[in-house]
Amino acid sequence: MTQDAPAERAQGTEAAEADTFTVFLCGDVMTGRGIDQILPNPSDPVLYEAAVKDARGYVALAEHMNGPIPRPVGFSYVWGDALEAWSRRAPAVRLVNLETAITTSDEPYFKGINYRMHPANLPCLTAAGIDCCALANNHVLDWGSAGLLDTVAALRSAGVVTAGAGRDLDEAAAPAIVEVRGKGRVLIFSMGSETAGAPRGWGASAERPGIFWLDERSPAEVRRVLDTVRAARREGDVVVASIHWGPNWGYEIPEEQIALAHALVDVAGVDVVHGHSSHHPKAIEVHAGRLILHGCGDFLNDYEGIRGYEAYRDDLTLMYFVTLRAGTGELAGLELVPLQMRRFRLHRAARADALWLRDVLDREGARFGTRVALGEDGGLLLRWG
């Protein structure tokens, strides 16, 4: 596939070449709750939260903030300007962390927040051309094992491959495999950490459905993950480790997460560490020529109008277009497209907002030697080395 070259190239890279391809990554995608309610086939809106008992309440909060949202919207509505960005860059692989069960199960796991999208709203994901959903997170079991199995089955029936969850540990730990024509295989592992709120009991076992669970603070868990990834990788594969780790808010990155990311690259042969869970973008690192995203920030959610964390600007989000060298997985370039959520729809961010994100990423990336430059079209370009 082809992609347009960014207006400005990152340091240490050249113009797009025949031996490169682009992978799209982003943070958490939450198509449940308020988002589900504006789609053509909403689920039962009953919630089991302390403050909000009806999912339509989140729609009302968003409308109070930015104005009326039409209902029902078309399946592509929520993606807004992201659709043009995808079309222009034509990534070979589109990977998201899906933090929503796709199910009609009415048996919630009582944990405070339960995300659910009706299976008839699945075209919302296919409208975005998603190739793979990482599922090892703290919401895929919000509606129990039945909800998890429904989610996997629904996605696979739509031609979307999954990683990180399954009927048993073997299935949950197995990578999703995406073949890129003329470039080789992309292996995608998905892991969910206790540090991001995934309970230990959600971990899959030989007899129990669940997620590929880990605790990066445990040397034994880290060894298990490294061995699993290394055993699946073949010469010439490009490997992505998609990890749900760390708290929702704050820019601090624990040393255990840095150590795990480095070990995945150095020991297991991972080419991209795709970190998520934070509701705002965190630092970007390049280690041994491999990209480490410590936290991508949310991509799509129903938080519009919720107060309390305005300083983090969680209304702003990023599209990560990662250009890799086929056969080696070496980072050739990273372009970031800033967006803003308004009326449950992604809009191209204003220049001032793009500059704010640039400054945050510069500040947080300084410890890792990365910088971000503003491109001619308002996009952001990573520089390193």
> Over the stretch 122-164, which tens digit does the pLDDT of each residue have?
999 999 999 999 999 999 999 999 999 999 999 999 999 999 9
Q: What is the pLDDT of residue 258?
A: 98
Residue 195 exposed, middle or buried by CB count within 10 Å (0-12, 13-18, 19+): buried
The residue ranges of the chain whose pLDDT is under 50 are 1-15
Domain definitions of the chain by residue range = 20-384
**0.85 cut: is pTM over it?**
yes
Q: What is the pLDDT of residue 5?
A: 30
| CA distance linking residue 227 with residue 216, whole number of Å | 14
Q: The tokens of 92 are what?
A: 């070979």
For residues 337 and 321, is the Cβ–Cβ distance under 8 A?
Answer: yes
Q: What is the pLDDT of residue 378?
A: 83
Q: What is the pLDDT of residue 187?
A: 98
Q: What is the pLDDT of residue 17?
A: 64
Helix, strand, coil share of the chain (percent; to 5): 30, 30, 45
Q: What is the pLDDT of residue 18?
A: 74
Homologous superfamily in CATH for domain 20-384 = Metallo-dependent phosphatases (3.60.21.10)
Write the DSSP symbol of residue 72: S
